[in-house]
Each structure stands twice: as structure tokens, then as C-alpha cells.
Amino acid sequence: MEDNRVRLRITWNACEVDIEGPQQFIESCSDTVKALADILVVLGSGQAEKPPSTSEPSHPKMAMVKTSPVTRHTPSSFGDWYYKVPKTATKTDIVLLASYFIQLQNTLGIFTTGEVNKLLREVDLELKNVAHFIKLNQDYRKVVKIRQGQFKVNEEGIRHLQDLELI
């Protein structure tokens, strides 16, 4: 599935910001990003210390590059992942794995508590309070809340799943 992903990287002095997503989304943010760059220039010109290499305020450098589609293997069913989970994995890890599976299937790249609960029931794992485990993953900074009832597994969560060799 080709989703035409691009990455926008903004580099200014010692700071870098990466924004990655579908090209249409990145292009829709271009006016906002340009305004941010202008604000950074204005803020930079009012600093007491200027970068040593120049007396003029530096303008943020921006580059948009195409990225290759995500190459992680996504199984056709969650059961393919779930039944390979080692016994040492915690319930919090399993909820994170289910969340990530749903996120990969979702065109918006998000998941909800209800979707995770339903998916876990399909593999005969009934947890009394899935929201509690999602909250724990938030506290461990592996999941971020997008808006009320919608969440996303972040890069830290994906790295955690990779470290556990769950994905």
C-alpha cells in the first residue's frame, strides 16, 4: 500500500523538527510552517547572543523529502502477533501491541479504547479495564492522546515493541 509519505525537516541553529506524513497533509501545513519559520527568524534576531558564525539572524532551513513506505511486516490478523507473544510480556505490553496493530490498520493512524478491547476479546483475552492499560502506556510515554478517546502509539512505543521483539 503506497501512501506517498514525505518528511519535512526544519533545522534552525541547534534545533531540528521533523514532520512526517502523507504528502497532502504536509502540503496543507506549508503556510503554517512558513509562518513558524518567520517567527523563529524574528525571535532569533532579538536574542542577546547571536550564533558565532554570522551577525545576521539565521533563517531556518527546510527540506521536504519523500520517504519510503513503512516496511514493517503487518500480519493479516492480530492473532498472528498475539500467539507469538512470550509469557514474560505484561498485559500493558499486549495492550500496546493490540493498539499498534489497530493503528496500522487505520487510515488515520490512530486507535480507540473500544477497538483495542474488541480486538483482545477476539483472541479470548478479556481485560477488565483496557483504558487503565492505555493510560499506563501514556504514563510510560509510549502512547499519546490525539483527542478525546483517540490515541496513537508513538515512536517510543514502537521501539519498545521492537525491543521486546513483538514486531
Of 156 and 59, the structure prediction assigns the larger pLDDT to: 156
Instruction: Give pLDDT, residue 68.
Output: 42
How far is the C-alpha of 13 from the C-alpha of 16, rounded, in Å? 8
CA atoms within 13 A on the CB side of 60: 24
Give the 3-state secondary structure of residue 148.
coil
Angle between helices 113-122 and 130-139 (to 10 degrees): 120
Tell me, yes or no, if the pTM score tops 0.85: no
Fold that domain 78-163 belongs to in CATH? Arc Repressor Mutant, subunit A (1.10.10)
Q: Where in the chain is the domain with CATH 1.10.10.10?
A: 78-163
Confidence label for 125 from pLDDT (cuts 50, 70 and 90): very high
53-109 pLDDT, tens per residue? 444 455 555 555 544 444 455 677 898 889 889 889 999 999 999 999 999 999 899
Determine contact, residues 7/65, Cβ cutoff 8 Å.
yes
| More confidently predicted of 163 and 19 | 163
